[in-house]
Amino acid sequence: MFILRFFNALACLLLIPLICSGNAFALTVTVDSGFRSQWLGPGMDYMEDESTGLTAQAVRQRDNWQTFDGHEVNFGFSDSVFWLRFSVDNRSGVDQQLLLDNQFPMIDSLVIYIQRSDGYQQQQRLGDAQPAYMRQMLHSHLLLPLSLPADTRADILIRVQSETGLQLPIVVWEQDAFLQQDHPFSIMQGVLYGLLIALVIYHLIIFLSVRELAFLHYSLFNLFLLGTFCGLQGVAAAYIWTESVTINDTLVLVSMAGAQTFSTLFMNGILGIPSARPRLGKLMYGIAGIACVLMLASLLAPHRWMAKPVLLLIVVSISVLTYAQIRRVLDGYPIAKYILAGGAFGAFGFAVTTLANTGVIAGTPVTQGAAYVGIVLLSLMDAFALSYRMNLDRQLRLQAQGELLETQRQLNADLDRRVQERTNELQAANERLMELSTTDGLTGLKNRRHFNELFAHEFKRACREQKPLSLLLLDIDHFKQLNDQYGHPFGDLCLTQAAQLIANTIRRPPDSAARYGGEEFAVLLPNTDKEGALHVADKIRESIGQHQVSDGQQQAVMTVSIGVASFIPSQNNTTEALLKAADDLLYRAKHNGRNRVEG
């Protein structure tokens, strides 16, 4: 058995040069110690296989690879197979646990071939052509774990085939970094779905109360909109019907067509188009009818037959709806001007995101986030429309009384405005006084008094939460010589620019910097250990040392010495202990030659 394993390993090592032969990969993802993620797009090799019959071994020997130069790999609708290749090189010095993340979950088939430089090979199949429960990681995205030992390179070959749009927003993640960004995104999704469910229930209840079809249409529109998002974002396939490979594609097309059906009917009713513009009203009923037919046809016909007609209908429907709203504004219909922005831009945002997620246009943060903006605008539009419709008759009957009430309201509003203006002026003055009392007048940083208060507060919090707290004390080297040689105005300029460089280096909201006295500065870094604090200190020292202070003909380069102290506070520690430790280390930096960091 040992001999058999030996020859198998030897065969793998001998085959590596053959497998990896051919052109060098144009795109290499370098994983260093600070690696978090890299978007794969510009520079990635790709090749189209129109025959759809090439094997991975045959593809590796081909020399007709092309280099992708766009932002995101997107081949639109195609019957061809596309091959992608890139490399991941672990130069971090430690083993890395990575993730390959394809953020468009409607790809039918992704076959990933991994060949590591240590001889390990892996082949994994992903995509919605196989049940979600078979994935290595159950998630709305298509995820593949990638273990990469230290100083190891992985050559990755991907075979892609899909009846849906060939959109491939692929990202290489460090696993912890992926989890950190995935949590808030999941919360955002939950909020979106909760909003849509609330809109469905709320407007359905209103319909049952007033029997107004516009509310039923809007409720059903939000229901199908919810289905569209669940399908396009992969949530339904991953968590609802994990054993099906066909329901999700059908859900997306049915939901998209249904959303167009009921959004058109809603607009037609709420704007009163059939009575005011009969021909336009008939056109909108026709569009709703076609959308309804496509919705029913999507239940029976293959996805590849229905995708383009549904997307084309979305474009036509948006154009007609936008025209209808503009037309009613020009007619002087009161409610139209309020729902124009919400209706037109809301529908437009939803269409942009739909087209981006189906591969018709490039997926960017703007195109993928357009639907969220659209939903908010639609909900505001509907809320106002509901309020207007419910109060319109009452306003007509009580017009005279309403005018009197409006006059009184205006007087009260003027009085409230004046009071509010005065209140705002006083508040602004108080805020300015507070700012002046806590800010150093020369450098713009916080002064020592404010810093001591913040220091005590953060020290108590770190002690309570048992989190590390770091303190940096900085002193400009030979500052007295700068003052004597160039004069006090130039010295003040040095202090101001040093303060700006320090402020530009610390980025986190809890971090703070202050002028501690003379040419001495203090930087407080909550929830930062000694290693992180030393890193920040080195960045500050390098930033100041590389900066030239200029004032007319006078020029100088400053250096700083920095003492870095860090510990997890306890009941036995005090702020004075941490401050003394940082001060002693600053003195050591001065003693050891200046322009250095001691910690």
Residue 519 annotated as catalytic? yes
Q: Does 388 share its domain with 455?
A: no
pLDDT tens sequence for the chain (599 residues): 323 333 233 333 333 333 333 445 678 999 999 899 888 877 889 999 999 889 989 998 888 899 887 766 888 888 899 999 999 999 999 999 999 998 888 888 899 999 999 999 999 998 887 887 888 888 888 899 999 999 999 999 999 998 877 888 888 999 999 888 788 778 877 888 888 898 889 889 988 988 888 889 888 998 998 898 888 888 888 888 778 777 888 888 999 999 999 989 988 888 889 999 999 999 999 999 999 999 999 888 887 788 889 989 988 988 898 898 889 889 888 888 777 877 767 767 767 766 655 445 665 556 666 777 777 677 667 667 766 766 765 676 777 676 777 777 787 878 778 878 777 777 766 666 665 568 888 888 888 888 898 888 999 998 999 999 999 999 999 988 888 888 888 988 999 999 899 989 987 888 999 998 888 999 999 999 999 989 999 999 999 999 999 988 889 999 999 999 998 998 788 889 999 999 999 999 999 999 999 98
What's the DSSP call for residue 136? S
Residue 440, in any domain of the structure: no
Q: How far is CA 253 from CA 103, 236, 440, in A?
A: 19, 14, 61
Residue 161, in any domain of the structure: yes
Residue 102, in any domain of the structure: yes
What is the distance between the alpha carbons of residues 44 and 29, in angstroms, rounded to a whole number? 10
Residue of 81, 132, 101, 130 lying closest to 29 (CA atoms): 101
CB distance 72 to 365 below 8 Å: no
The number of folded domains in the chain is 3
Q: Does 267 share its domain with 366?
A: yes
Cα 381 to chain centroid, rounded: 26
Q: Does 146 share its domain with 245?
A: no
Residue 443, in any domain of the structure: no
Q: Does 385 share its domain with 487?
A: no
Burial of 384 (0-12, 13-18, 19+ CB in 10 A): middle
Q: Does 117 share its domain with 239?
A: no
Q: Say which of 519, 520, 542, 576 is annotated catalytic.
A: 519
Residue 185, in any domain of the structure: no
3-state helix, strand, coil in the chain (%, to 5): 55, 20, 25
Residue 420, in any domain of the structure: no
Return the CATH number at 587. 3.30.70.270
Range of the domain at 144: 18-179
> What pLDDT shows up at residue 295?
92
> What pLDDT shows up at residue 11?
34
> What pLDDT shows up at residue 254?
92
> What pLDDT shows up at residue 250?
85
Q: Does 356 share its domain with 230?
A: yes
Residue 455, in any domain of the structure: yes
Return the CATH number at 99. 2.60.40.2380
Question: How many C-beta atoms surround the C-beta of residue 438 within 10 A?
Answer: 15
What is the distance between the alpha carbons of residues 442 and 140, in angstroms, rounded to a whole number? 53
pTM (2 decimals)? Answer: 0.57
CB distance 114 to 20 below 8 Å: no
Q: Does 127 share its domain with 261?
A: no
Q: Does 339 share its domain with 264?
A: yes
Q: Does 350 share its domain with 308?
A: yes
Residue 560, in any domain of the structure: yes
Instruction: Decide which of 159, 179, 199 is a domain's last residue.
Output: 179
Instruction: Decide which of 329, 359, 394 is a domain's last residue.
Output: 394
Q: How many CA atoms lie within 13 A of 116 on its CB side?
A: 14
> What pLDDT shows up at residue 368?
60
Q: Does 322 share its domain with 364?
A: yes
Q: Does 26 share its domain with 114?
A: yes
Query: How many helices, marked H, and strands, marked E, lie in the chain?
Result: 18, 20
Instruction: Decide which of 394, 418, 440 is a domain's last residue.
Output: 394
* Chain position carrying tokens 């992969």: 234
CB distance 217 to 265 below 8 Å: yes
Cα 129 to chain centroid, rounded: 28
Helices 303-330 and 247-270, packing angle to 10 deg: 20
Q: Does 380 share its domain with 480?
A: no
